[in-house]
């Protein structure tokens, strides 16, 4: 946790970009009956029944200090999709010597996905671009990409969308609008705050370590 918090406190440096990545499933849901449109004094009404059309995966990368984000929608969450996303993301930072990538520790989130998808030379080049920083188990809230996903969900994904094509168009349009406005993320949780609010966890870890050394 403190490693990530220290990373977030670094000043903006285009050569050492700090980018947060996350993904979420999106269920494709259609209407069985045409909703009644909103009228004066009456909200829009939709039938409780709906039709399922499968699901897809929204992948999001956001650079909090610059207000840049990059999004893609895939049919599944696979290693090849992760590798493709990371290859396209790297192209967005041609001047970066290193991309510090904050992400959850899932089974696809590693350089091995590059080697399974691309030739060794391409995979090695990608691996050298990225430095992975993983959130602790049970602490995905430390990933600022969750904040971006929350904004996209509220503004774009809180209604029924039946097709991946429509969902992709709307997500890309929203991301483009947010990029134009350079909407940044101002992170408030610091090391000092962590040590104060989570003091009991620090003490427990220290006591556990002391007990282990004595045994």
Per-residue pLDDT tens digits for 53-91: 889 999 999 999 999 999 999 999 999 999 999 999 999
Per-residue pLDDT tens digits for 9-62: 999 999 999 999 999 999 998 766 676 687 888 777 766 666 888 899 999 999
Mean pLDDT value across residues 160-168: 92
Neighbours of 88 (CB within 10 A): 13
pLDDT of residue 176: 96
Answer whether 46's CB lies under 8 Å from 35's CB. Answer: yes
pLDDT of residue 160: 85
Per-residue pLDDT tens digits for 195-213: 888 877 777 765 666 665 6
**Residue 140 DSSP label:** G
> What's the CATH code, domain 2-186?
3.30.420.10
Answer whether 79's CB lies under 8 Å from 116's CB. Answer: yes
* pTM across the whole model: 0.85
């Amino acid at each position: 946790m403190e490693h990530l918090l220290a990373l977030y406190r670094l000043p903006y440096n285009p050569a050492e970009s700090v980018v947060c990545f996350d993904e979420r499933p999106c269920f494709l849901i259609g209407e069985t009956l045409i909703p009644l449109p909103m009228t004066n004094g009456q909200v829009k009404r939709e039938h409780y029944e709906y039709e399922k059309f499968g699901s897809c995966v929204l992948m999001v990368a956001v650079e909090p200090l610059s207000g840049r984000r990059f999004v893609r929608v895939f049919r599944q969450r696979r290693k090849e999709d992760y590798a493709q996303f990371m290859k396209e993301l790297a192209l967005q930072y041609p001047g970066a010597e290193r991309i510090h990538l904050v992400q959850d520790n899932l089974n696809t989130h590693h350089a091995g996905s590059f080697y399974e998808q691309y030739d060794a030379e391409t995979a090695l080049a990608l691996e050298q671009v990225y430095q992975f920083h993983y959130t602790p188990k049970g602490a995905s809230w430390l990933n600022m990409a969750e904040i971006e996903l929350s904004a996209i969900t509220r503004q774009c994904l809180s209604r029924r969308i039946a097709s991946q094509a429509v969902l992709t168009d709307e997500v890309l349009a929203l991301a483009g609008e947010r990029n134009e406005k350079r909407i940044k993320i101002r992170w408030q949780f610091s090391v000092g705050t962590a040590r104060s609010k989570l003091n009991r966890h620090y003490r427990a870890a220290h006591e556990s370590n002391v007990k282990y050394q004595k045994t």
